[in-house]
Amino acid sequence: MIIGLYEETHNWGKTVALWQQLGFVLQFETDHHSGQLVHPDGGPYVFVAERPATDELLRYPILHVEDSTTFESPAAASVAKDWVPEHWGVMEMHLANADGRLLSLQAPLPNGVTAPSGH
């Protein structure tokens, strides 16, 4: 199930304004020009992160996985980043499709695994 969309931008303010004009509401903002928007009617969230003008920008869907310890990668994908605990309190894996496009898979932290401190 797709739970979110990750979108990088070179212009935090204009990108957030676009999503807000489409009906999304800023749920939270970090202190480094990133944050999450949600739609009042529900559905996937959008996480926007500003990057330097010299960076190539990424955009990818975020999918929910029940259990990172039992998940088996699809044969049609390659693992771009294996499961790691992330500072926002989930395990995350990146898969790449045949064209090299990323998918983020996120699962609850397993018992005994703690999230690293944030940035």
Name the nearest CA neighbour of 105 among 88, 89, 87, 82: 82
CATH code at 67? 2.60.40.4320
Strand partners, 37: 26, 46
The verdict on residue 107 lying in a domain is no
The verdict on residue 73 lying in a domain is yes
The verdict on residue 110 lying in a domain is no
pLDDT by residue (tens digit) across 58-92?
999 999 999 999 999 999 999 999 999 999 899 99
The verdict on residue 90 lying in a domain is no
The verdict on residue 108 lying in a domain is no
The verdict on residue 86 lying in a domain is no
Name the nearest CA neighbour of 44 among 6, 16, 10: 6
Residue 119's pLDDT is what? 63
The verdict on residue 15 lying in a domain is yes
Q: What is the pTM of this model?
A: 0.91
Q: What number of other Cβ atoms are within 10 A of residue 106's Cβ?
A: 19
The verdict on residue 58 lying in a domain is yes
pLDDT tens-place values along the chain, 119 residues long: 999 999 999 999 999 999 999 999 999 998 889 999 999 999 999 999 999 999 999 999 999 999 999 999 999 999 999 999 999 899 999 999 999 999 999 999 999 888 888 76
Count of domains in the chain?
Answer: 1
Domain that holds residue 16: 2-77
